[in-house]
Structure 1
Amino acid sequence: MDDKVPPSALAGDIAARTDVYFNRTRQVVARFGDKRVTYAVFLRRPVIAAPRLMLEWLQDVATERGTSFEFDVTHPEGSWTGAGEPLVYITGSLTQLSDLETIFLQKIGPACVAAHNAYQMCLALPGVSFLAMEARHCAGAEMQDMMAYAASVGSAAARKEGAKGFVGNANDGTAHWFGTPRGRGTMPHALIGYAGSTVRAAEMFHEAFPHEPLTVLVDYFGREITDALAVCRRFPELAASGNLSVRLDTHGGRFVEGLDPAESYAALERHAPGAIRRYRSDTELRYLVGTGVSAAAIWRMREALDAAGFPRVKIVASSGFGVDKCRVMADARAPVDVVGTGSFIPDVWTETYATADIVEYDGVPMVKVGREFLLRRNGARKKNGG
């Protein structure tokens, strides 16, 4: 009879997902004698520190293995970290740590870069509220949770500098990262297609959820201005109370209703002439006066709403709002109230690669040549033992 205790799900997951050479290193060290080591974890680009998911996972592993790890968090969550600066030192048994590197690096690199992107976006538009809409762009639940966490970290860092930041997200599962019990949202384009008209979709939603603020997509039929005003006239009380918003999500294949290149330039000339007189890259010009949700489109919508007597109706903008687009919108003083975005997810995935090197063996500093910058500085303290 086999009385061996079966491996736990966590242990099996680690063994299956980690690189084989780390698994073999663990076996070699167990055979020839353990050492107490310290790993330095870093990224090669500036980031906002977001180590929580990694640290919590390592704590869980330590508990299951009946061991403990010590963490010297040199850059606390939400703090700016320069390229190559160690974010965390992890100390413990080499036998217990050597097979964890693959997975713990997965849990810190992307989060730190996404947090930095979210931080930059919030600071670029400090008076604008952001809504995290990353879920549909994520490769599964684990990434979805990580990206929502990252947005919350970057947002919190920006709020310390006066920005409104992220006020929520679009799904219930990760809403807790933003301090809310559930996600936010009203309708996708599919509901408008189902209803047959933008106004009818708004009526259906309001009847089903009468106490919810109403945000209505207005680009489905290519009549952004016409349909926005029709919804406002259908719901004048919501419009007057500030509980009605129109959402621009026009794709990049066409201009918002009533705009073309000349009209787009004219809109910015009326409101932010300096923004188009400075040198611009092709991408920046598209964000200013091009197709899709441009700064000119947002200004045109604001003009139409105000002229029709709906100054309290808010404008929500989505579609490709990353760091660069937010900066251009700020330069054009685009009158947007809320930005819905999943574009804080890193564009260049190679930038998210975190790295770890052992920098001490049994208390003796030692690291591969070229990585001496990772060695602990004199007086570094070990803390947060697991």
Structure 2
Amino acid sequence: MFRATGKSNRWTAEIDTLKCADRQRLAPETFRLPVEEMRAGTYADKYFVRTRHVLRADRHSPNVLMQVFCKASGILCGVDEAIAILKLASDDWSALTVCALYDGDCVEAFETVMTIEGPYDVFAHLETLYLGVLARRTRIATQTRRVVDAAAPKEVFYFPARHDHYAVQAGDGYAARIAGVAAVSTDVQGAWWGGEGIGTVPHAAIAAYGGDTALAGRKFAEHLPDSVQLVVLVDFENDSVKTALEVARALGPRLYGVRLDTSGTLVDKSVIPALGQFDPRGVNRELVVNVRKALDDAGFESVRIIASGGFGVDKIRAFEAVGVPVDAYGVGSSLVANHGDFDFTADIVLTDGKPSAKVGRIHKPNPRLEEVP
């Protein structure tokens, strides 16, 4: 469901897009890290754990400068989480000097995004962890920003929870927020920034009421507070025009919007008469136009349309290029698929003040970095 904001012509955005001037970092306790296991090295690639053991056994504690970069340009995210790992799971945070960019910064490929300076044995066991969170969060943030930009100024809702493991929801939801989504679908996805999940009247609820979409909508209206903006899926019977009108008549002004989510293997009944000039499967321009016209002709001009099901950057751009009358997009699996090389790499480039990078790597200072207190 969606929460009312007093705005009659936009979908609810319970969060503000991260502003460039907002340079606050998330507190380490936000992430609920398994600190003892991280310190012990159970999450680390084994060779890092053995490296720490060898250095200590040999009483060799070189002072190094570790330099971190991404192989692709994008929207940086995971920095605050990486810093939290270093603060809480290194053997001595006070011995380290960490400089970093911020979550939400635009970065170029191979640009230095973080440096860690100090005794290597103090943080050798953490490389796997901080590189992993940077890679995951940056991938989600970058792919989400591309969709947000394609849809602008229309809003995008982050709906991939069912396409991935539940344990990634908090971090992924935060990365999506950094990228500019209007809302997320689960409370956990909003946990790091104080948001909560939104949603629609789902197919399961409609099935629970015998396939009667209007009845399911009425029950949601009856038992949920008025602050919840009712948005109803209308593709259950594969006749979205008919169902949208039934729902609008049943709920009247209580209906905030309808969601079109026709399967990519189905052709909605309303577009069958126009077959032959376009791909009729799933949610397409003709279907949206048909639903919009039917609602407007029946006096339901204020009912919004959200489109979902198979949407990504290319499909949204195609819709926007021809002015399809969608009010917002719900996007899922395309935001968590791996569409780029967002691997992060960490290299020791200085050891005890002397160049020590492997062939192909050089010390690349970045004046954009800020020291982490």
Normalised by the length of structure 1, the TM-score is 0.80
Which residue does 1:154 correspond to in 2?
179
Within the candidate set 177, 181, 185, 1:170 is matched to 185
1:218 aligns with 2:234: yes
Which residue does 1:54 correspond to in 2?
82
Within the candidate set 190, 195, 210, 2:204 is matched to 190
Task: Provide the C-alpha distance between the structure 2 equivalents of 1:301 and 1:93, rounded to a whole number of angstroms.
Answer: 64
Within the candidate set 297, 309, 326, 1:336 is matched to 326
Superposition deviation, residue 222 in structure 1: 0.9
Task: Provide the C-alpha distance between the structure 2 equivalents of 1:244 and 1:381, rounded to a whole number of angstroms.
Answer: 45
Q: Which amino acid aligns with 2:218?
A: E
CA deviations 1:91-110 (Å, max 9, x no partner) are: 22200111111111111112
Change (3 A) 1:381 1:296: closer
1:251 aligns with 2:263: yes
Which residue does 1:227 correspond to in 2?
243
Task: Provide the C-alpha distance between the structure 2 equivalents of 1:361 and 1:380, rounded to a whole number of angstroms.
Answer: 23
Superposition deviation, residue 344 in structure 1: 5.0
Superposition deviation, residue 194 in structure 1: 0.7
Task: Provide the C-alpha distance between the structure 2 equivalents of 1:43 and 1:261, rounded to a whole number of angstroms.
Answer: 50
Which residue does 1:270 correspond to in 2?
none
Superposition deviation, residue 378 in structure 1: 8.1
CA contact (8 A) 2:170 2:191 kept: no
Superposition deviation, residue 261 in structure 1: 8.7
Q: CA RMSD in A?
A: 2.4
SS of the equivalent of 2:300 reads coil
Task: Provide the C-alpha distance between the structure 2 equivalents of 1:337 and 1:101, rounded to a whole number of angstroms.
Answer: 43
Which residue does 1:144 correspond to in 2?
169
Which residue does 1:281 correspond to in 2?
none
1:69 aligns with 2:85: no
Task: Provide the C-alpha distance between the structure 2 equivalents of 1:69 and 1:206, rounded to a whole number of angstroms.
Answer: 56
Superposition deviation, residue 210 in structure 1: 4.2
SS of the equivalent of 1:127 reads coil
Within the candidate set 311, 327, 344, 1:321 is matched to 311
Q: Which runs of 5+ in 1 are unaligned?
A: 1-7, 156-165, 266-284
Q: Which amino acid aligns with 1:54?
A: A
Task: Provide the C-alpha distance between the structure 2 equivalents of 1:126 and 1:185, rounded to a whole number of angstroms.
Answer: 21
Which residue does 1:28 correspond to in 2?
54
CA contact (8 A) 1:346 1:352 kept: no
- Percent of matched pairs sharing the same residue: 31
User: How do residues 128-139 of structure 1 correspond to structure 2 at under 5 angstroms?
Assistant: 128-139=154-165
Which residue does 1:369 correspond to in 2?
359
Task: Provide the C-alpha distance between the structure 2 equivalents of 1:261 and 1:364, rounded to a whole number of angstroms.
Answer: 74
Change (3 A) 1:249 1:312: same
Task: Provide the C-alpha distance between the structure 1 equivalents of 2:370 and 2:232, rounded to a whole number of angstroms.
Answer: 52
Q: Which runs of 5+ in 2 are unaligned?
A: 1-32
CA deviations 1:221-244 (Å, max 9, x no partner) are: 111110100111112223xxxx52
Q: Which amino acid aligns with 2:187?
A: D
